[in-house]
Chains A and B, each alone.
Chain A
Amino acid sequence: MNFPYENELRSLPLDMPLMLLLGGVLALLIVGSIVGFILSWRVKGEAGRATVANLNARLRAWWVMVIVFGIAVATGGIGSLLLFGLISFLALREFVTLAPTRAGDHQALFWSFFVLLPLQYYLIYIGWYGLFAILIPVYGFIFVAVRSVLAGDIDQFMARTSTINWALMICIYCVSHVPALLMLEIPGYQGQNAKLLFFLVLVVQLSDVLQYVWGKLLGRHRVAPVVSPNKTWEGLIGGVLSATAIGAGLWWATPFTPPQAAGMAFLICMMGFSGGLVMAAIKRDRGVKDFGTMIEGHGGILDRIDSLCFAAPIFFHVTRFFFDVSDQVVP
């Protein structure tokens, strides 16, 4: 077997389009920071000040996240693998902390953190797509149940094992599909998959930010009042449409035509919205506002990547189905 995608891991993919993407994001952040700075002088009143303080905290965190992500992408595939492996680890930590696990799950959890998680990312590293795609949903699924049952504690058994499986699927499996984009073999796009990764993360996060902005500006009618009172139809439609438009405008950095890029961006936005909603329901269920306190103004790491979790695997598989050539079977 040879791994043509080794190019993606080894080469430095800093080509012109990627530089433009990075530059664009930095420009956006600079503008945002200037606006935040001006607002902090202009806005009076308690509520207004609190909102601006939160906005500026979020902006500071964005700087850190963009710089980390930029370095990861610029160092080739290894950087992205390490970064998303670490994100998986921190997310799993936040998720499991809220899960109703008991002493009987200790071994299963230990294996999840220190064996399944590194293995999943190692499989991306060596390009073993077949095992990557089933490690968690098949082997992990069975392993967790068996390891916990061997511990002999049947109290809340179904709830405990199901929750651990959810934690593995969301935090390891779904998140790992972001760097897995590097595995795709797209004709005419070899050695450039880092931009696909950038495209996904940029569209997801812009969609989040724009939904927030449109919601603050025009938001009246709630989409899901019980689950997430802050999400409004105005925010959803405005955010998704504008992020889709931006995504379409970035077609030159992707293997897609402009209409395809628009379709993909729309798909990413809708999946991102669904992910955010589902994770909000999980937080409500566990009675917490945020998953953690790691990122100032944002909450935990899971609060920041909730929309990425659902968008990444769907974007990966749709792209793989329509554009990848590695194992095309003629029907």
Chain B
Amino acid sequence: MIASLLIRLARVISGARPVWTKAIETDRQRIFFANHTSHLDFLVIWSALPRAMRARTRPVAGRDYWMKGPVRRHLSGKVLNAILIERSPASSSPEAKRRAAGNAIDWMAAEMGSEYSVIVFPEGTRGTGDEISPFKSGLYYLARLKPDVELVPVYLDNMNRILPKGEALPVPMLGRVVFGEPMELRRGEHKEQFLARARSALEELREGQG
């Protein structure tokens, strides 16, 4: 019930119209990756998915934030069924960070199993919406662990104007959720190559909106 309420709310606030560039079957496992500018982003993508797909699509979020307090814990655990990952504190050594990131990816792949799709934001943090930041390498490692899973670029339009970083109150402009053509990690493709290709897929959806 809370989930459907959240979905309605996200739809009303963002006025988001889903745009599919290609019809997709609902039963395939996917990694949706999107640009990240607003707290609304996950909910907006989630609410744009067909109902059958939504039930098997999980967000990925930081454990430190979502385990704080009973409300967040309930939302992330029971309502959104989020995959919570450990984020290493900013002060830790590069080596420890790399190890934590590797563990997080393993954990995500294990939680996905052969059933769940996930929504990830490979920029790593919310941006201003002026441009799409370079991708973190997590998407590459996850794709390598899950070679059969389709990667779907999702461009979120106007969310940065509806609820920008640092604002608590939304302005109800009209947003759009554009689902691009699915892609996959090519055999022998280098990390940088792949991440650049994935990022340019989002750039293309952004340019193509007219």
A interface list, Cβ under 8 A from B: 89, 93-94, 96-97, 101, 103, 106-107, 109-110, 113, 287, 292-293
- What is the size, in residues, of chain B's interface with A at 8 Å between Cβ atoms? 15
Q: For A97, A101, A287, A292, which residue has the most chain B Cβ atoms within 10 angstroms?
A: A97
* Contacts A/B (CB < 8 Å), 17 sampled: A89-B172, A93-B174, A96-B171, A97-B15, A97-B158, A97-B173, A103-B128, A103-B167, A106-B161, A106-B167, A106-B171, A110-B169, A110-B170, A113-B172, A287-B210, A292-B174, A293-B17
Contact A96 B173, CB 8 Å, known A101-B161, A103-B164 = yes
**How many angstroms from the CA of A109 to the CA of B160 in the assembled complex?**
14
> Nearest CB to that of B175 among chain A residues?
A97
B158, closest chain A residue (CB): A97
A89 vs B171: C-alpha distance when bound (angstroms): 11
Kindly report which residue of chain A lies nearest to residue B128, judged by CB atoms: A103
Interface positions, chain B 152-193, Cβ under 8 Å from A, are: 158, 160-161, 164, 167, 169-174
- Residues in B lying within 8 Å of A, measured CB to CB: 15, 17, 128, 158, 160-161, 164, 167, 169-174, 210
Tell me which of B17, B164, B171, B174 has the highest count of chain A C-beta atoms within 10 A of its own C-beta.
B171
For the complex, give the distance between the alpha carbons of A292 and B167 in Å. 26
B174 contacts across to A, CB distance below 8 A: 93-94, 97, 292
* A-B interface, 4 closest residue pairs, ranked by CB to CB distance from nearest: A97-B174, A109-B171, A97-B173, A103-B164
- Complex Cα distance, B210 from A287, in Å, reads 8
CA distance in complex: A278, B161 (Å): 26
B161 neighbours in A (Cβ, 8 Å)? 101, 103, 106
Specify which chain A residues have a CB less than 8 angstroms from the CB of B158 in the assembled complex. 97
Please name all residues of chain A whose beta carbon is closer than 8 Å to the beta carbon of B128 when the two chains form the complex: 103
Q: Closest CB-CB distance, B21 to chain A, in whole Å?
A: 17
Residue of A nearest to B174 (CB): A97
A89 to B164 CA separation, bound complex (whole angstroms)? 20
Query: What's the Cα separation between A292 and B15 when bound, in Å?
Result: 11
Task: Give the complex CA separation of A328 and B161 in angstroms.
Answer: 47
A329, B170: Cα distance in complex, Å: 46
**B17 contacts A110, CB within 8 Å?**
no
Q: Which of B17, B164, B210 contacts A106 (CB 8 A)?
A: B164
- Taking CB atoms, residues of chain B closer than 8 Å to A113 are 171-172
Docked pose: A305 CA to B170 CA in angstroms? 26
Given A110-B171, A113-B171, A113-B172: A93 in contact with B15 (beta carbons within 8 A): yes
B15 contact set on A, CB distance < 8 A: 93, 97
